[in-house]
Structure 1
């Protein structure tokens, strides 16, 4: 595999379902990550595509896998191409069978524009691109198959032994299953309760017709279907029913979701946990640890078999609606929990459940009569779109949910929420015209329906748009008006606190630092009481701005380091880049000109995640320009440029680590060590810490 990757920029592992394509690709990727050195200086990354059904989400999924955030209106494909253009990395693309043409088109475009990119794909068929090197993965040879079967059987039952009498039966069983690893593992799970002779007899007797009589099917496909079908046959009726119902999930799912979605009179909730245990024991489910807790995952081949049974039961529509309802409820509780001490856990939870939330959005938007639910769900996830670096995907769902004009008056509240969130997202993207259109539509609709809270949100986000457009006078008027409306209606959450921080920014930029500090100290007190941290980071930015103006550089640094820590944890690129640029100025004022230039340079790639420099002029630009002028005078143009260039080569994790420690004088620029390349997450690990 390593030699193929050296000689070809696209290698595709192909083979029948269950033959171990994903396992081999992940093993090769892990080996590449461990031995990367100079070969993959920008890391090895995994994109799991099996949960993706909508082609429009393909680019979002790859961007997510690469840890990208983008706040602009640029198409996600352009963002991907721009990110990869100058990098040398290995991208592993697994499970693209349901989107072969779309995946092939995207991979072709990325490879053409990214000379340093290598792609390792795993699927049942090649992508069909020029220059593609195939790696057909054959089933195991008889000795290997027997070794796998006995190893898995022994793991399930330590008392299992391969005697002279049983070896021929096991050998025949391996031959009957064509050496397909998944089929062998399913068979091994049954050897806990059945003898090898019984297992073989059931294969012979119960599925002879299925094995030999499927027209047009390859023998190995028939053998796999036999193994899965045989495992299905040996399940209890309750286990088969749960298997079918679990097929409505995308990616990972937890016990609570399974109990709600799959439970019912014919599948009592108090039996679900034991049934999951049985499916785990039979290798039909896998258990994973994630940042949000324990999750389960069903192999795609197994899931598709269950989906076929669910279809035959005529229960797909009802199960999809129950799935949708669960994730609507999850999003609602997450929005409430966002204003509290569980913000970090909420971010990790939504990240973990994103595939299922997307599926729920699809379910809502597939039915015109349920479009209001899609509007509600897309709007309710505002905290994730805006607070965790997901503006582009949020804009996608919000635009889709609002297609087709106004909904019934009964659901006007959902439409208004989607409108003000769309206005907010578009404003942060620097897309002023659509932002104003959505916010005016929200305010007009709110006035007609008497929805004072929605009206306040519309006015607030108009003020936010004025703020990022450098119209401080107008911003102050609108934000003050919105804050008064919030207080009159009793509204209090992270949005309301952010409105107060944004008002403080207008005061600070206009010279009223005392007024700005008073507003932000009040916000800090509420955040401390409630455990809120996301808005607190922006309050810290304003307080640091005021402290620096007053000459209190130690206080400014303390506040900014906390600000950097919070924004990095939430993957909020806007807050992070603003904090780093102000911290660079603090560092210059403290006399560490070279370190200031380095931080200033390190902020440049962060703007790629934000996209357009929407804060790139006027008031928000002042710290950057002042830092450049001050550090440049001390260092000279050539050394300043060298330090900034060194900063641009830092990964985000290295930048944050550097920002959080006390500054030190840098050695002479020619002696600066080349920093480690961008962080490499463990390929295939379910855990992924949120990054800023």
Structure 2
């Protein structure tokens, strides 16, 4: 179960005022299932919505989730972004909207869709679909315009009041004072400055973002100087009309004035940082922004100055400090970047950084930093999308699109994003038909992902083309991967003998070119499984021992987890039930950390059949686990890939539970399991009675077999 607010960002500054709006929004959230907070940019829609969502979180059994729509530019990726924000990992080829309908049908959840204005129509369509399908769902949206969905409640947000009838400091004035104290310690409202601050806030129309930007200037200017310079700026931009300007003009004027009061280097940094989507770290900013008038040693201080002026936000997480621009300020910076003529160059540098990041991620995926790599890539996901979109939209960049989408195979596969990965690869392959190394890689990655989804109709032609191209061009690496993934297709197609030959051939090719990484380990695992399914236990255990040894030597955990599943299967068939449970549970634990649904569900089916074994079987729990596995398989693709070879544990478990439970218990337990989400089922499995952890050394049977089977590298 989701905790109430574990997916809402922490408030970085104090929340000032808005008591009436919060009360009204709380009432609307109780009365309606869709509430849209509307208002101009900078008025505080997001802050208000998040505060209201946090206050209402206790009413939702499955908590609250924030979806940052502003970071999504492609309407086709909106559903994927929602899935990712909700941590509803899905690896199927189904449209993400269909997956959301299924996953949210029985949830009691509040979703905050933030900054919908640039995707109003797709957001409206998705929200309408989800609300019809999920009666326990409520949506709180923020947008500069309403979604126009039936049943929508609109909550317009106005700027903060500047004055009160009794002469007490109004909300806008209190906000200015609060933010001023943050940049100028000791600042407080007094009888001497209250009138000046009030007048300044009035000139800013009480728009929170404008007030915060003005307060950020207090480190260099007095309140009187800020007001004087702002008034001069208004005269310049409004043709001397001192009457209250339109609010959007007020905000734009305030941002422009704040921009002009920045130093030339700060303005340049602001413009260059606008190429980032979502958050970014210092290293990425240094690579993208430094040079051509901006020195590396200046950047950190410039970022600090922009934070102090409320232009940049600073966020701190497990992987360190990150920064982000508010959408309104990013838009302004992007306009200036275009005006400087630097946009194309900066977007190329942005693309290059994230291409390099993907490359390093692929390398570091084989080693002890796999989980850190997965998290770093997750944080970079909005920027990776931006880089991919740039490559696909810019003529001449198609090969880089293939390379970037293909290099990210470890994230698409290992963190449960097969559907989105295929989206990018299909687009890139359609644009770049010429036979290149990048296309070969994209083909085997596409074939691999389609195979994992049980989609052999798409997988086999892609892998055959990769194989053919590799032979024609002499690309030995592509040939090794094509043969390997053709082995995967044969394995789930129940061609076990052919699969064994292909895996052995692939491992020989890998050895010949000196390739050793997680893919090679997976080939060993898959060969071991193919042998086990054919009853050749000695050969199977040999290859699983190779997986274990290599993983322990290099600190690899992802392929290791799959090896644990195969060992659990072997333990089960040998009657080593306690060891089988330990292996299967550790497989669930590791794959849950990676959000790898396939690894979780394979181990879950093993744990289900193990509940039917031993002197005290728990048939009801076994059927619960089968129900949970059924739900996860729906998010992976075809159950058991459509393969009969992988269904042995499931069939045994189903037969035993059907015989041992009443018809009511049989259906009831399955329904209970099917209602569990990924986090709930992991907690259920890992929270049961303690068992011995997987032994560090090989099992006795495997120890006897060590060295008894020749390796692929020893093949003639």
TM-score after normalising by structure 1: 0.92
Instruction: Tell whether 2:116 aligns with 1:127.
Output: no
CA distance in 2, matches of 1:377, 1:405: 13
Give the SS at the match of 1:460: helix
Instruction: Tell whether 2:564 aligns with 1:540.
Output: yes
**Structure-to-structure mapping, 1:140-151, within 5 angstroms:** 140-142=160-162, 143-151=170-178
Contact 1:375 1:402 in 2 (8 A): yes
Give the SS at the match of 1:283: coil
The answer for the alignment partner of 2:132 in structure 1 is 112
Cα deviation code 1:540-579 (max 9, x no counterpart): 1111111111111111111111111111011110110010
Instruction: Tell whether 2:86 aligns with 1:66.
Output: yes
> Superposition RMSD on alpha carbons, in Å?
1.8
The answer for the alignment partner of 1:459 in structure 2 is 483
CA distance in 1, matches of 2:477, 2:520: 11
Give the SS at the match of 1:45: strand
Contact 2:640 2:646 in 1 (8 A): no
**Structure-to-structure mapping, 1:201-600, within 5 angstroms:** 201-211=228-238, 219-407=246-434, 412-590=436-614, 591-600=617-626
Contact 1:290 1:352 in 2 (8 A): no
Give the SS at the match of 1:134: strand
Give the SS at the match of 1:496: helix
Alignment size in residue pairs: 656
Offset, 1:405: 4.9
Contact 2:172 2:201 in 1 (8 A): yes
Offset, 1:278: 0.5
Offset, 1:243: 0.2
Offset, 1:194: 1.0
Once the two structures are overlaid, the 10-residue window that deviates more, 587-596 or 359-368, is 587-596
Instruction: Tell whether 2:40 aligns with 1:13.
Output: no
CA distance in 1, matches of 2:237, 2:86: 42
Offset, 1:212: 5.6
Cα deviation code 1:94-134 (max 9, x no counterpart): 01121122222222232233333221110111112232211
The one of 664, 677, 680 aligned to 1:651: 677
CA distance in 2, matches of 1:30, 1:457: 48
The answer for the alignment partner of 2:99 in structure 1 is 79
CA distance in 2, matches of 1:406, 1:123: 40
CA distance in 2, matches of 1:71, 1:153: 48
Q: 1:194 and 1:210, CA in 2 relative to 1: closer, same or farther beyond 3 A? A: same
The answer for the alignment partner of 2:699 in structure 1 is none
The answer for the alignment partner of 2:696 in structure 1 is none
The answer for the alignment partner of 2:714 in structure 1 is none
The answer for the alignment partner of 2:22 in structure 1 is none
Q: 1:596 and 1:82, CA in 2 relative to 1: closer, same or farther beyond 3 A? A: closer
The answer for the alignment partner of 2:702 in structure 1 is none
The answer for the alignment partner of 1:673 in structure 2 is none
Contact 2:83 2:90 in 1 (8 A): no
The answer for the alignment partner of 2:713 in structure 1 is none
The answer for the alignment partner of 1:688 in structure 2 is none
CA distance in 1, matches of 2:274, 2:158: 28
The answer for the alignment partner of 2:224 in structure 1 is 197
CA distance in 1, matches of 2:409, 2:480: 16
Offset, 1:306: 0.7
Give the SS at the match of 2:639: coil
Offset, 1:8: 2.0
CA distance in 2, matches of 1:212, 1:654: 62
The answer for the alignment partner of 1:627 in structure 2 is 653
**Structure-to-structure mapping, 1:607-618, within 5 angstroms:** 607-618=633-644
CA distance in 1, matches of 2:408, 2:572: 35
CA distance in 2, matches of 1:114, 1:135: 23
Give the SS at the match of 2:676: coil
Instruction: Tell whether 2:78 aligns with 1:54.
Output: no
Give the SS at the match of 1:644: helix
Once the two structures are overlaid, the 10-residue window that deviates more, 608-617 or 162-171, is 608-617
CA distance in 2, matches of 1:20, 1:262: 29
The one of 183, 190, 195 aligned to 1:163: 190
Contact 1:81 1:114 in 2 (8 A): yes
Offset, 1:437: 1.1
Give the SS at the match of 1:90: strand
Once the two structures are overlaid, the 10-residue window that deviates more, 184-193 or 287-296, is 287-296
Contact 1:615 1:621 in 2 (8 A): no
Gaps of 5+ in 1: 665-692
The answer for the alignment partner of 1:681 in structure 2 is none
Once the two structures are overlaid, the 10-residue window that deviates more, 449-458 or 1-10, is 1-10
CA distance in 1, matches of 2:640, 2:689: 29
Once the two structures are overlaid, the 10-residue window that deviates more, 233-242 or 633-642, is 633-642
The answer for the alignment partner of 2:113 in structure 1 is 93
Cα deviation code 1:577-601 (max 9, x no counterpart): 0101101111221323232222222
Give the SS at the match of 1:522: helix
CA distance in 1, matches of 2:576, 2:414: 29
CA distance in 1, matches of 2:592, 2:245: 50
Q: 1:41 and 1:222, CA in 2 relative to 1: closer, same or farther beyond 3 A? A: same
Cα deviation code 1:179-202 (max 9, x no counterpart): 111111111111122111000001
CA distance in 2, matches of 1:447, 1:401: 22
Q: 1:404 and 1:616, CA in 2 relative to 1: closer, same or farther beyond 3 A? A: closer
The one of 662, 666, 670 aligned to 1:640: 666
Contact 2:374 2:411 in 1 (8 A): yes
Contact 1:593 1:635 in 2 (8 A): yes
Gaps of 5+ in 2: 1-24, 163-169, 691-716
Q: 1:218 and 1:108, CA in 2 relative to 1: closer, same or farther beyond 3 A? A: farther
Offset, 1:663: 4.6
Once the two structures are overlaid, the 10-residue window that deviates more, 429-438 or 153-162, is 153-162
Once the two structures are overlaid, the 10-residue window that deviates more, 45-54 or 608-617, is 608-617
Give the SS at the match of 1:251: coil
The one of 173, 184, 207 aligned to 1:180: 207
Give the SS at the match of 1:73: coil
Offset, 1:642: 2.7
